[in-house]
A and B are shown apart, each in its own frame.
Chain A
Amino acid sequence: MSSTVLVSIISGLEGRVGSNPKIITIYPDNLDATEEFILERSLPHGALPDQFFEDKLDSRKILVYTFEIQKDGRNDLASIGLVLDKDVIIANLQPIIKRLVKRLNSENLLTLEIFQESLPKIIDGLNKESKIKIGSMIFDVKSILNEENLELKEKSRKARGMF
């Protein structure tokens, strides 16, 4: 089975004075494009917290989710951008991403540093539809998919044809 998430990007625009939008991390580091091109897509102009954006990169889909990170002064704006296999059902992936961010926030784990550190685990969990463990938090992708009766990918034509 091919991966769901091919490349993932965390971007941020910090609330502090003198900040600028920037890419925090890319995993795995293999997107063949300029930094500017990636930033424009992973943190689109006009973005506000808690929005989804969809785009295309060749035959692959891009899904971006924006969120805010609590800070003492002004909050940061951040985003997770996912370059996806073309068979991924974006509408089904959206609630998973949103729930993950919400959960990290409620466990006080929503920081750019933790995201940077844990991105491989998050992507691995999404790809294998398994448990994502960050600190003391366990986010079980499979059980959420089951609970909500969702599939992350279209069944291939061939597989469907067998029934």
Chain B
Amino acid sequence: MGIFHFLTRKTKNKSIFCGLDSSGKSTIISFLREGKFVEHVPTMGKDMTEMEVQGIRLNLFDMGGQSHFRQMWLGELDDTKCVVFVVDKSDPGRFAEAKAELAKLLPVISKKKIKLLIFANKHDISKDVQLSQLINEFELEKLPNFELLEISAKTGFGMTDAFIKFYSILTGQVIKKNAVASAISIYSNGGIPLITQAKNDDEFDKNILEGGFLSAITAFAEMKVNNSCIKFESKDNGTFLILKSQNFIGALLWNDKLNITMDTSEGALKELLDHLEAIGVYKQPEKVPDVVEQYVTNMM
């Protein structure tokens, strides 16, 4: 290959994340990377993240959204395959400003046949703002092609679907979403049930998980163990995995029809608990059901 090849190498599978300051670009990228919410300081110019997914390397350029940095966006378009334009859906007061910035990119996007993916972020605090409103205000119907997805980089709502779309646009490859459980329950660390969600809203699985082993949860709540998983096998229903974090207990129902290993499911349950701890929702238990409901869109 030699050094010449290295010197002339272009960034492969490059995507750039643009959008106004504070729209959530950095939060989205770190959620994709780590599977949980992380708070950031504003991006100073630009930041680059490399990820390898199913053997393919992806380059994500996180562009600073402050007006000072916006002239840099165009300069990055050259070898870019996909532009992810992030809009803060909870801030309609800034839609016009965002639209004007997007308009500056559109001629190059269209000339170079770059794919455009629009993330309507912060859905957790803007459920009343419809996508149709965004389409109207941004006049998206005039664009030849684009994809628009509602997400929340705080609660995780829609993040797996968004990533699947992003990945297929960038690489031309398909990844399938795997359910990691047929039902998931979250309890307070005292063993009080907060929410149960089942795959395809299956009442049967919900009931099994809800009714099956409350006494076991209560006993587990009294044990002073964090992050250790206990497993119960039930001949007819699969295996119950129970895990405790500082403020929550999570349980899920695994069976071999899911086609993934029990370890993967355990890892996913741990990520969910980490996420709940990271966003500090234990301070407002009444919000837990909504937050869990949004996050498990990624898990089932």
Contact = CB atoms under 8 A, between A and B. Distances in A.
Q: Do A and B associate with each other?
A: yes
B42 interface: yes
A119 to B, nearest CB: 21
Interface in B45-75: 45-47, 66-68
Interface in A11-58: 13-21, 43-49
A77 B41 contact: yes
Interface residues of B, number: 15
B45 A14 contact: no
Contacts of A15: 22, 41-42
B177 interface: no
A19 B44 CA distance: 11
A74 interface: yes
Nearest to A47: B44
Contacts of B44: 13, 21, 43-48, 77
B104 interface: no
Contacts of A45: 44-46
B66 A20 contact: yes
Contacts of B42: 13-15, 19, 74, 76-77
A58 B260 CA distance: 61
A21 B45 CA distance: 9
Interface string B235-254: 00000000000000000000
A46 B47 contact: yes
A75 interface: yes
Contacts of A16: 22
B21 A17 contact: yes
Interface in B1-55: 21-22, 39-42, 44-47
Nearest to B65: A17
A140 to B, nearest CB: 30
A77 B45 CA distance: 12
B21 A48 contact: no
A72 B45 CA distance: 23
A69 to B, nearest CB: 9
A49 B91 CA distance: 27
Nearest to B22: A17
B137 to A, nearest CB: 18
Given A68-B41, A75-B39, 10 more contacts: A13-B44, A15-B41, A17-B91, A18-B21, A19-B21, A19-B42, A19-B66, A20-B66, A45-B44, A74-B22
7 closest A-B pairs by CB: A45-B45, A77-B41, A20-B68, A47-B44, A17-B22, A20-B66, A13-B42
16 contacts: A13-B44, A14-B42, A15-B41, A17-B22, A17-B94, A18-B21, A19-B66, A20-B66, A21-B68, A43-B44, A44-B44, A46-B45, A47-B44, A48-B47, A74-B40, A77-B44
